[in-house]
Structure 1
Amino acid sequence: MGSTATYEDLAVAVRNRVRRIADYPGLRAALEAEALDEAQRLGTFVDPEVDLDLALRRVDACRALGWFHWYRHLALCHGVDQGDLDKAVRLLTFCFVAGQVDLPTDLLPRIMLQPEAVFAIDCMTTSGAPALQTRVITAMRDTLRATADDHPTRSVYLRFLAEALLERFRTEGRRSDLDTAVRSFGAALHAAIDGTDDAVLLLGLAAALLERHALTGAGSDLDGAVDCLRSACAAAPPEDPLGTEAATGLVAVLLRRFRNTLRRADLDAAAKTLDDMTLRDAGDSDPVRTPRLLELGTAFATLFEDTRSLEDLDRGADFLDRFVRATPDDNSDRAVCLGMLALMSRDRYHVTREPADLDRWIEKARTAVRTVEGGSADHATFVGELGVAHQLRFDLKGLPDDLDKAVRYTRAAVDLTPDVGADRAGHLTNLAATLHTRFTHQGLPKDLDRAIDCLREALVSAPREGDERAAALSNLSGALLDRFHQFKVGEDVDEAVTVGRAAVDNAPDGHPHRAAAQANLAMVLTTRFDVSRRRDDLDQAVRLSSASASGFAPGHPDRPASLCDWGTALGVRFRHFGDPSDLDEAIECFRRAIESTGGDVNRCAAAWSNLGIALRSRAERTSDTADLDEAIGLFRTAEQSVRATDHQRVLFQTNRAGTLMQKYERTNDPADRQQAVVALTEAAKAPSGSPSMRIAAATRAAALLADSSAGSAADMAVMAVELLPQVAPRQLARGDRQRALGSLSGLASFAASLVLADSRAPEATRARRALQLLEMGRAVLLSQALDIRGDLTRLRRRDRALADRFVRLRSHLDLPPGPSPEPAPSPTTHPGQPRGAGEHHRPRLAHALADTLDEIRRLDGFESFAMAPAVEELLAQARQGPVVVFNIGEHGGHALMVTSEGVDTLPLPELTADTTVRKAAEFRIAVQSITHGTDGGLPTDPHGTMRAVLDWLWTAAAGPVLDALGLHCRPAGSADWPRVWWVPGGLLGLLPLHAAGQYSARSGHAHRCTVLDRVVSSYTPTVRALAHARRRTPDRSASGRALVVAMPTTPGLPADGRLDHVDGEVAVLRRHLPEVMLLREPDGTPPGGLGATRPATPTKAAVLDRLPDCSIAHFACHGESDTVDPAHSRLVLHDHHSDPFTVASLDAVHLDRAELAYLSACHTAANDADHLLDEAIHLTSAFQLAGFRHVVGTLWPINDRIATLVADTFYTHLRTGTGTLNTSRSALALHLAMRAIRDGDDLSARTDRAARPYLWAAYLHAGA
């Protein structure tokens, strides 16, 4: 080929020659002179060492040239012109690196050892690209086929193959690659001759074995990896980096095997290996070794979970401290490590209970919070841990600042956490615990309500399985139980049982929380037994608490409380079922509980108190004063062991007082009685005690002091009354508040009697104070409603948005209980979810209303907004006539006569509690006898009994009051009747004060001794309620429109509940009322005179819908008084079975134009629930609260025919001279109507009905 041949010409010539050599036997073509010339000239165009980029573009020419020199080398004699072999290796190595695969097999062993090839193999192996890794694998397999089994470099090619297979496994996950890699590493180790590569091969084999262990979990692979790494450490000199890598790897693998097997020897070996490296290298700062410090610290922390050995915990903390010192501040693992140190400080405190360890925990947690990146899950964890630590330090030292910080940090942890997940559930549970603790020590109900809300939310966030769920369920059960103790809401204890059972179900046998869940459920069931009296509850509690006590190992911090729960259940079972063995076993449980605390007074208090209760029970059986003395001492010790702010202290004090009085009854030692009084007084004054417990203590103290110290007794009773609203706060539903108040009936009267007997103050002062107490302690529910029913005109002018928020919250709280608007429960619902939207949100709404009221009262001029009126405001209500407030005590009663000039006290010695109870019972039986046509077993006729009671009522109460007021006779003119407002309260509310008089011997003169012949009577539950009725002037523009509800028949009642004269009453109303909106129960044929169209059906919804448009509402129907729950007393309308029109139905009704409600039905002013007499819960007061200024009600069943006469006469007198209706004359109109019926004005013969008060005395007027 000529000297002017181009690169292309030369490349084609060399490729063709190489092809001929390969296609035909013999190598002569490689030795031709022209061939060598072409190759040498082509070499000048493709030399990688001269121009690498050009060579890469001409790699095919490079490969042809390399093959040519390889053939030429083979053609020449051995040892002749080795330059061709070197050129072939150099060029073909370049081609291998450039990605060429068609290379001489026999030359591969030499090529693969070239530095450029080794580098390329390493890059392709670790590239993560399966195609490149496959190239290496193929090349190595070809190379191994060209290499003799005993060749010294064979182990190198096996290592390359194994490493490539291992990496391709990591990329593609083929198990066959991994198995082959393991075999290849093993073969490489076998083929290695001088041992120089043993450390590298052992490290590789260890890596492959660890991958296979991770894939299959085979322990033999993990063991093999440990052996390999130990051998690698032995094969490499300590100063060799491979030795360091082997030792570091050995530490990691030993830790891995420790995590799998918890084999202590592995952890110790790992620690020794790392310590040896640290000592040899004089430090922990090696970037490879430093992470092992973190792993070792974590491993020792894991080991501690099993061994509970402080040595293990401290070793782990030491490694972590070293890691922190060895890493820069911006290292992310450093922050994690600081967090772990905080958790390990926590664990150390839980073992040692040393205050110094708790302080260290707080400090470590604070450091972690500062270090860990804000917004991360770890940051939230450590903020939460800091909150928990502060709570524990509060438990230990009682510093309020720690408790406030606990709430703040645990709340912050919740705020830092996503809305769902186990982390949020855990933080919510911690926040609930801190709020629960603050409630326990500060007694704020909103803390307990918020804790319950947090636990409910935690259950929504928590996974269906896991510790967080079991803990949240158990804690929710406990919180509900505490709220039951606080407010006695039966639904709370029932839900506590349901949730407690779920907690046990979520903690199966062997679960760390099972024993605690069992103990909690046992306590809840024991408490519910006090309500349910179901023996099964108590028996289950005994079984569960026994199992719980067995589930806690000796020395466990919860074991003493579990033993106490067991003993408590046994003690309750003894007290109710009388098995002495239960009492003996209970005493033994309490003694074991005290012993198991190890003398820790912080955990002994409950056990001491419970043992005292059990000993007191035994003393009742044995008359052994030694048991009483020991019990008194135990209660005193329990008191002294807790802080003054601890709610348990109140319980211990009341228990000690009760035991002292038990002893006093045997010994008559005044010192015992005096100590009891002191203990009760302290308990009553303790702000941390529940309101009900404090009221009980104050009332008992007052009773003990009454005979010896009237002033101190009065102080205690006053305190009890002032606590009454706290027993029934707004966050409770109406029924729960009624139950809470029902057990305290008569408290206000008791306190007022003591105040009136307290000679420390002038009589006028005592009278005013007694009036305040009766206003505060009677009709508590009504007063709560009145608090938020005031005129909002001024507030709307000042801040409309604030007024609207107030009205919205008030309306929500006033809604009656009913079916939840939420959909039916799905299969995913769980215990702990709210029972209904209204019930669940009521506490939150109540707290929001309280906050809104506080905000309103901060406005200038609104400081007393929605507050109870001052005495001066009460006195102002007497400007239109005196208001007489009765109070009945054991030794006589009093009348507080409120006039515009002040309050005067009138003793009524014959008005005793016992006599009033007896007279009320006689009167009630007489009414029932007349109603049902039987004499009820009375010795005289029932009408005579009624007259006798009215005579007594005149002599004991009404007569002396009217005389004292100077109201001695009937006024001269018919329009000049004086008015009196009666506030009977409690027992006296069962009797018709307005009808009191001497009817058995009527005189027929103007000086007749009856109330009806001297004054116009009205009633009001409290003076404040009277002020509410007068809060606005009559709306004259609406005085003509009236809603008339008529029920001549009633579906579902016997004989259809027929009232024959209802339609006649409606006809009367049509004559008197210019605009009638009629709702009448339909029948087959509309009665004549009612129009051609059928009126609307009188359902509850229809009535409530029309009330706002009418100023007058008249009901002619049946009425029922509920003797169990007066809020269920009802007007019997069309849908009385499905949607009854009850007292509670009117809770949410706010009427701005209402004037007169006339309830021509039975029992509409009667409260027949003896336990709630002080509350004045009946339909008459409900209509008054809804906004009616005047309400006409009835105390007992009324005669259907007489009802029509009374209504006709009433509305006749309501008319003015111009023919319009003046509802302000309602009291006088009813007064005149009753007199007319009594005196027989409708009768033709000269006779009257005075001897039959049943017919006319039931009617009363309430309101303005």
Structure 2
Amino acid sequence: MIEDAVQLTPHDHPHKPACLSNLGNSLFTRFHHLPDAAALNNAILAFSAAARSSAGPSSTRLKAALQWIRCAHLIPSESLLDAYAVAIDLIPQAAWLGLPLRDRHRELLRAADVVRDAAAYALARGYYNTAIEWLEQGRSVVWNQLLQLRTPLDELQSRDSTLANRLRQVSYELEKGSGHDMAGAGEMKNAGGFSLEEQARQYRGLAVERETILSEVRCLPGFERFLLPRTVSQLAPSAHAGPVVILNASQYRCDALVLLAESDDVLHVPLPDITYEQVDNLQKSLNRLLASHGRVISPMDRAIREVVWRDRTPDESFKFILSELWKNVVRPMLDALAFSTPTAGELSRIFWCPTGPFSFLPIHAAGLYDDANTGPKLSDFVISSYTPTLSALALPLQEGTTANTMRLVVVPQPASDGHTRLPGARIELGHIKTTLQTSPSTPVSLVESIGTVDDVLTKMKESDWIHFACHGIQDVRSPLDSGIVLADRRLLKLTDVIKLARRHGGLAFLSACQTATGDKDLPEEAVHLAAGMLLAGYGGVVATMWSIRDSDAPKVAKSVYEQLFRDGNLPDYRQAARALHYAVKRLREEHNVPCVSWVPFVHIGL
């Protein structure tokens, strides 16, 4: 009967992929009960036909592609590479712009591992460029969609102003609704008088119209790849400030891929001494430390959570995790890059782009800390930054300001945030003021926000840099609602930040807890406030992987700004990673704090 349904359904019918998938599932079940290679091969044919169909919902075709991959792994199949390629192409289509953000994230959960597994298979076949292109295309899908809506259209404007204007208007309308959530819309009305159901329908129509316009643009000579996934040659300039290392953790193997500014070739570094299971166990061990007797979240921490101190220090367990990362991940990378001995002079930079469970591990702190005098550490060799994608490191077409002065907005803990007072927040603000006063020639004007959500968003648009010293929340149930606690107990949410489009450049210093924590279920999507700041246009972000102590934050901020403002010139946000590197080193060595206190400070971006 299923075969008959497939035969009777026209090729361009929207139910065709579902019929083919049902046939594939039936054949796959037959294979399991009666080991029949022919049934498995026929299942592969059915799933591949469903996945490649030009009709039907993208989510249905993505499910078929995932089943195709599953079947092709069971027998030697030349179609496996094609199966992965089709799946990677379908991921952004399934999580398309016409869906609310939360629905897009739900779609991406279906393909949680396939991107990393695809890269691992490509690496096993020697296709290094393909692996990088797939990892870039299939990760941070939602962020890339939102960034595309803000793509400058100057070249298209000069070629076809009508198309450019249509695309600009549709993109603007889509971006206005980029934070919408129409789930369970019913007949509720929005501010414009439309029901949420009508608003959702309008939004889906705009997404379809945009795809039509893009198809027309790609028919123009020279625009054939307009807003299509980037190739390695297009991604290579991302390494302009230093090597970019992608750490891929797959159930089949772990690898590192390196882009270098001076080379067109991708450097592949296998990591045979660590497996996905071991990386995952390191992440779980870290989580247990932080939750039970490690991060040590007290009333004087900048997080909203209640965990009591324990008598036993987690330092030895932390040191074990950092040593495992050093021996099995970082040391092989440094050897491949010819970093044989610590650098005596100025350290160069390196950018880490971790995937899967690597995304939640402190790669930047890897090293041997049993003997601080002799144990090698990553920080002895390079200055580390993180990036959610390669594209996030691309040089902007133009920086945000060419003025001779800059505005730094500070947001200390508001009195009405409804949470435990943070004495360190005012100390932190005092350090920044003092640093500027002792460097009178530094062309920086300091502006203090009143701490309301509206005031902060307005000042983010108008200023160059911003510094928060507040409580932070990573909402584990709804990561898009993570944010910073401001006046009147309101949150500056991730959904607020990603709607903000400001001029590119500047530093966002998030001296609050858990601002780069992310969602464990969506490790490839960088669902945290720090990534949102990059999306809003900041060139670099100082953030935290977990809770920080109120007494440590002012020390780090003081050291960072002393370095950035010391020469009296216009500060460069691209020096923030270097400043944070030495600030954390000072916290670790001079103040002798445990690993749990200095490790969480990280730099993201340029």
Same fold (TM over 0.5): yes
Aligned equivalents of 1:714, 1:985: Cα separation in 2: 20
Aligned equivalents of 2:577, 2:400: Cα separation in 1: 14
Contact 1:710-1:757 at 8 Å conserved across structures: no
2:485 corresponds to: 1132
1:987 corresponds to: 357
- Residue type matched to 1:1012 in 2? S
Q: What is the 5 A alignment of 1:379-778?
A: 634-709=1-76, 711-758=78-125, 763=126, 766-778=127-139
- Residue type matched to 2:252 in 1? H
Flag the 1:954–1:1038 CA change in 2: closer, same or farther, 3 A.
farther
2:275 corresponds to: 912
Aligned equivalents of 2:131, 2:202: Cα separation in 1: 37
Contact 2:297-2:547 at 8 Å conserved across structures: no
Q: CA deviation at 1:800?
A: 6.4
1:810 aligns with 2:176: no
Q: CA deviation at 1:963?
A: 1.5
- Residue type matched to 1:896 in 2? L
Q: CA deviation at 1:1106?
A: 1.4
Flag the 1:861–1:1196 CA change in 2: closer, same or farther, 3 A.
same
Aligned equivalents of 2:537, 2:280: Cα separation in 1: 33
The structure 2 residue matched to 1:1205, chosen from 555, 563, 578, is: 555
Question: Using CA pairs below 8 Å that are at least 6 residues apart, which structure has the higher relative contact order?
Answer: 2
Contact 2:348-2:383 at 8 Å conserved across structures: yes
- Residue type matched to 1:774 in 2? L
Q: CA deviation at 1:855?
A: 5.0
Q: CA deviation at 1:1034?
A: 6.3
3-state DSSP class of the match of 1:1162?
coil
2:328 corresponds to: 956
The structure 1 residue matched to 2:284, chosen from 903, 914, 921, is: 921
Q: Which moved more, 1:1145-1154 or 1:1225-1234?
A: 1145-1154
1:1258 aligns with 2:600: yes
1:884 corresponds to: 245
Flag the 1:793–1:1057 CA change in 2: closer, same or farther, 3 A.
farther
1:1044 aligns with 2:410: yes
The structure 2 residue matched to 1:822, chosen from 192, 204, 211, is: 192
1:1105 corresponds to: 458
Q: CA deviation at 1:1030?
A: 4.0
Flag the 1:1262–1:646 CA change in 2: closer, same or farther, 3 A.
same
Number of residue pairs matched by the alignment: 579
- Residue type matched to 2:501 in 1? H
1:1002 corresponds to: 371
Aligned equivalents of 2:199, 2:489: Cα separation in 1: 23
Contact 2:257-2:267 at 8 Å conserved across structures: yes
1:1066 aligns with 2:429: yes
3-state DSSP class of the match of 1:813?
helix
3-state DSSP class of the match of 1:784?
helix
1:870 aligns with 2:268: no
Q: CA deviation at 1:952?
A: 1.4
Aligned equivalents of 1:939, 1:667: Cα separation in 2: 58
Contact 1:1114-1:1157 at 8 Å conserved across structures: yes
Q: CA deviation at 1:675?
A: 2.5
Aligned equivalents of 1:684, 1:800: Cα separation in 2: 37
Contact 1:1215-1:1222 at 8 Å conserved across structures: no
Aligned equivalents of 1:1115, 1:937: Cα separation in 2: 26
3-state DSSP class of the match of 2:380?
coil
Aligned equivalents of 1:635, 1:1037: Cα separation in 2: 69
Q: CA deviation at 1:662?
A: 2.5
3-state DSSP class of the match of 1:979?
strand
Query: Counting strand residues as a fraction of each chain, which structure ranks higher?
Result: 2
Q: What is the 5 A alignment of 1:91-102?
A: none
Q: CA deviation at 1:917?
A: 1.8
Q: CA deviation at 1:941?
A: 4.1
The structure 1 residue matched to 2:540, chosen from 1184, 1187, 1190, is: 1190
Aligned equivalents of 2:569, 2:556: Cα separation in 1: 19
Q: Deviations over 1:561-585 (max 9, x none)?
A: xxxxxxxxxxxxxxxxxxxxxxxxx
- Residue type matched to 2:320 in 1? A
3-state DSSP class of the match of 1:1043?
strand
2:344 corresponds to: 972
Q: CA deviation at 1:821?
A: 1.0
Aligned equivalents of 1:1224, 1:892: Cα separation in 2: 34
Q: CA deviation at 1:1009?
A: 2.3
Aligned equivalents of 2:214, 2:16: Cα separation in 1: 33
1:1143 aligns with 2:490: no
Unmatched 5+ stretches in structure 1: 1-633, 824-832, 1080-1096
Flag the 1:717–1:1225 CA change in 2: closer, same or farther, 3 A.
same
- Residue type matched to 1:1002 in 2? D
Q: Deviations over 1:841-865 (max 9, x none)?
A: 2112223333444455555655544
The structure 2 residue matched to 1:943, chosen from 315, 334, 351, is: 315
Q: Deviations over 1:996-1053 (max 9, x none)?
A: 1122x23514xx42211111111111101211x644346352653111111154533x
Aligned equivalents of 1:1136, 1:751: Cα separation in 2: 44
Aligned equivalents of 2:571, 2:153: Cα separation in 1: 28
2:578 corresponds to: 1228
1:1035 aligns with 2:401: yes
2:512 corresponds to: 1161
- Residue type matched to 2:588 in 1? R
3-state DSSP class of the match of 1:967?
coil
Aligned equivalents of 1:745, 1:888: Cα separation in 2: 12
Q: Deviations over 1:596-625 (max 9, x none)?
A: xxxxxxxxxxxxxxxxxxxxxxxxxxxxxx
3-state DSSP class of the match of 2:521?
helix
Contact 2:399-2:503 at 8 Å conserved across structures: no
3-state DSSP class of the match of 2:604?
strand
Aligned equivalents of 1:647, 1:1133: Cα separation in 2: 48
Query: Counting helix residues as a fraction of each chain, which structure ranks higher?
Result: 1
Q: CA deviation at 1:711?
A: 3.9
- Residue type matched to 1:674 in 2? N
Aligned equivalents of 1:866, 1:663: Cα separation in 2: 43
Aligned equivalents of 2:452, 2:65: Cα separation in 1: 47
Q: CA deviation at 1:1149?
A: 1.3
The structure 2 residue matched to 1:1077, chosen from 427, 447, 451, is: 447
Flag the 1:757–1:712 CA change in 2: closer, same or farther, 3 A.
farther
Flag the 1:693–1:837 CA change in 2: closer, same or farther, 3 A.
closer
Aligned equivalents of 1:795, 1:1038: Cα separation in 2: 32
Aligned equivalents of 1:1070, 1:937: Cα separation in 2: 33
3-state DSSP class of the match of 2:427?
helix
Q: Deviations over 1:1215-1234 (max 9, x none)?
A: 35335422221111111111
Q: Deviations over 1:21-71 (max 9, x none)?
A: xxxxxxxxxxxxxxxxxxxxxxxxxxxxxxxxxxxxxxxxxxxxxxxxxxx
Aligned equivalents of 1:954, 1:1186: Cα separation in 2: 33
3-state DSSP class of the match of 1:1193?
strand
Contact 1:787-1:868 at 8 Å conserved across structures: no
Aligned equivalents of 1:799, 1:646: Cα separation in 2: 35
Percent identity, please. 29
Q: Deviations over 1:174-227 (max 9, x none)?
A: xxxxxxxxxxxxxxxxxxxxxxxxxxxxxxxxxxxxxxxxxxxxxxxxxxxxxx
Q: CA deviation at 1:923?
A: 0.3
3-state DSSP class of the match of 1:817?
coil
3-state DSSP class of the match of 1:905?
strand
Aligned equivalents of 2:478, 2:530: Cα separation in 1: 15
Unmatched 5+ stretches in structure 2: 182-188, 299-305, 437-443
Contact 1:1039-1:1155 at 8 Å conserved across structures: no
Flag the 1:802–1:1149 CA change in 2: closer, same or farther, 3 A.
farther
Contact 2:149-2:174 at 8 Å conserved across structures: no
